[in-house]
Amino acid sequence: MSRPFFFGYGSLVNIHTHTYSETSTAELQGWRRVWQMTPLRPHPFLSIEPQDGCAIQGLIAHVPDGDWAQLDAREYGYDRLSTDRVKHARDDDPELAIYVVPKPAPKLQLEKGPILLSYLDVVIQGFLKEFGESGVRAFFDTTAGWDHPIDNDRDVPKYPRHQKLAPHETAMVDAELKRLGISV
């Protein structure tokens, strides 16, 4: 029987936001990240959507004893799906899952809520640690939905798993947003 793992592509890449200790870098083929609104929150979730020719970096992490309840609770608002599109360097063949925010019904009109900068900071801190500066740039380049405004909540973080960033980490986030023409 294969061991259960999840593929994290956003805040789950930052190992300081969870307790899953058995992790390794990986790549999800045929998907891209997207900032996705949902009726559950006033801020967009970082989700993924199919995209031919695209691949995104992330981490896979073992779910001890196949106990998904804690992770499912953290990822409320997401659907957990099985996938065979993750490339990794593990010798075994783990059972892999991804979390995806369901698309809202077409007739449901959601306003474009702001991206929490404290959330984005946490994501980029993880990508910088795991993939370096090129991984940070790849994150921004393989993520859609940058037309949301940015809520600069760094001084009073609204993201529940916010982390303290070093000055060079916040400078990298700010530089990448500027590169994309996004003002904070």
Cβ count near 5 (within 10 Å): 24
Please state the domain extents for the chain: 4-179
Total number of residues shown for the chain: 184
* Its pTM surpasses 0.85: yes
CATH 3.40.50.1970 fits 4-179, yes or no: no
Which pLDDT score is estimated for 106? Answer: 67
What per-residue confidence (pLDDT) applies to 1? 61
What pLDDT score was predicted for residue 129?
Answer: 97
Residue partners of 43: CB distance under 8 A and separation at least 6: 113, 114, 115, 116, 119, 151, 158
pLDDT tens digits, one per residue of 147-182? 999 999 999 999 999 999 999 999 999 999 999 999
Q: Is the pLDDT of residue 115 over 80?
A: yes
Cα separation, 52 vs 21, whole angstroms: 31
